[in-house]
C-alpha cells in the first residue's frame, strides 16, 4: 500500500486494519485517534440535518460514518488496538476518544484498553463548554481513554507539568469534518506524551486535525483514513500546514528514529 508523503507526514488511504500490519513493530511513539462511536450518527437523524435546522454555514454536512454501528465499531476498534499494542514503542501512549453516552461504549473501551498488550491508565474529559443535543441530559463532554504498552510506564514529556484530567476547549466553529476535535485538545495531549521528532499515529485520521497539531508541535505524523473525501481534505490541510511554516524539529531522543516499515519495505 503506497503512502502519500507530505514533509514528515505519511498519509494512507485505506482501512487501518489493513494498513497498520504494514507498520514496523515499535515504530510509533503515540497513538491519538477519534474512531467511530458506534451510535449510527448522521444516518437520517438530527445531526445529519443540523446545518439546515440551525441554518449553519459550516463547511461539512454530517453524513453517515463508516463502521459506526455498535458491532462494527467494536470490531474495527478492537483490531486497531491489537495493532497499536504491536506498533507502539515501550512505555508509549495510546489515547482513544469516545462518547460519554447514551451507550456505555466508554466502559467497553476502558476495559478493552486494559488487555491484549495494553494497560489502561486514566480517562480524560473533554469539556466542550457548550451543551449539545441530548434527551434529559444535554451532552457537554466527551472522553479520551488513555493507555500504554503493558508492562511499561506512561511516557510523559519532562518539560510538561501534570495537567488536569478535564480539558476545556470549544469545538471548532468552521468544521472540516462533522466530528472534528479542537486543535487545543490534541496539542495539549500530544505535547504531554511526546517530544519533538517523535511519531504520532492516527488510525482514524478524518480531516487531518491530528496531523496539523503534530506539525505545529514538531512531531512526525502517520495518518490513515478510509473515506476518500476526508482523506483529500487531510491532504490539503497537511500541505497548508507545511506551507505555512509548521516545520518539524530534529529528534531529541539521542537514537535514530525507527523505520515506519519492516524490512524490505
Tell me what pLDDT residue 40 has: 67
**Residue 181 resides in a domain:** yes
Tell me what pLDDT residue 133 has: 76
Whole-prediction pTM value? 0.84
Distance (Å, rounded) from C-alpha 128 to C-alpha 145? 16
**Domain total in the chain:** 1
Q: Which domain CATH number covers 231?
A: 3.40.50.150
Q: What is the mean pLDDT of residues 160-178?
A: 89
Q: Provide the domain limits for residue 80.
A: 4-243
Q: Give percent of the chain above pLDDT 90.
A: 65
**Residue 257 resides in a domain:** no
Distance (Å, rounded) from C-alpha 210 to C-alpha 208? 5
CA geometry: angle at 207 spanning 201 and 208, to 5°? 35
CA dihedral 89→145→202→133, nearest 10 degrees, is: 180
Tell me what pLDDT residue 137 has: 87
Tell me what pLDDT residue 192 has: 98
Residue range 105-152, pLDDT digits in tens: 899 999 999 999 999 999 999 999 988 777 788 889 999 999 999 999
98: left (phi > 0), else alpha (psi -120 to 50), else beta? Answer: beta
Amino acid at each position: 500500500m503506497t503512502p502519500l508523503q507530505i514533509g514528515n507526514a505519511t498519509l494512507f488511504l485505506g482501512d487501518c486494519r489493513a494498513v497498520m500490519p504494514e507498520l514496523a513493530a515499535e515504530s510509533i511513539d503515540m497513538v491519538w485517534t477519534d474512531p467511530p462511536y458506534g451510535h449510527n450518527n448522521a444516518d437520517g437523524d438530527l445531526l445529519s440535518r443540523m446545518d439546515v435546522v440551525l441554518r449553519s454555514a459550516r463547511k461539512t454536512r454530517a453524513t453517515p460514518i463508516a463502521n459506526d454501528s455498535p458491532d462494527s465499531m467494536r470490531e474495527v476498534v478492537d483490531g486497531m488496538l491489537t495493532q497499536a499494542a504491536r506498533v507502539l514503542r515501550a512505555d508509549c501512549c495510546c489515547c482513544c476518544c469516545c462518547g460519554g453516552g447514551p451507550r456505555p461504549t466508554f466502559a467497553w473501551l476502558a476495559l478493552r484498553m486494559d488487555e491484549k498488550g495494553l494497560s489502561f491508565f486514566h480517562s480524560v474529559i473533554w469539556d466542550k463548554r457548550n451543551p449539545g443535543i441530548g434527551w434529559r441530559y444535554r451532552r457537554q463532554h466527551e472522553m479520551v481513554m488513555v493507555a500504554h504498552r503493558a508492562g511499561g510506564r506512561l511516557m510523559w514529556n519532562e518539560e510538561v507539568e501534570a495537567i488536569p484530567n478535564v480539558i476545556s476547549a470549544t469545538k471548532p466553529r468552521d468544521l472540516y469534518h462533522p466530528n472534528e476535535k479542537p486543535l487545543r485538545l490534541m496539542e495539549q495531549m500530544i505535547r504531554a506524551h511526546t517530544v519533538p521528532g517523535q511519531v504520532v499515529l492516527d488510525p482514524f485520521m478524518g480531516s487531518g486535525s491530528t496531523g496539523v497539531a503534530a506539525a505545529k508541535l514538531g512531531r512526525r505524523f502517520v495518518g490513515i483514513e478510509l473515506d476518500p473525501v476526508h482523506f483529500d481534505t487531510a491532504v490539503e490541510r497537511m500541505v497548508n500546514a507545511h506551507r505555512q511554516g509548521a516545520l518539524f524539529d530534529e529528534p531529541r531522543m539521542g537514537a535514530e528514529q525507527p523505520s515506519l516499515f519492516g524490512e524490505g519495505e
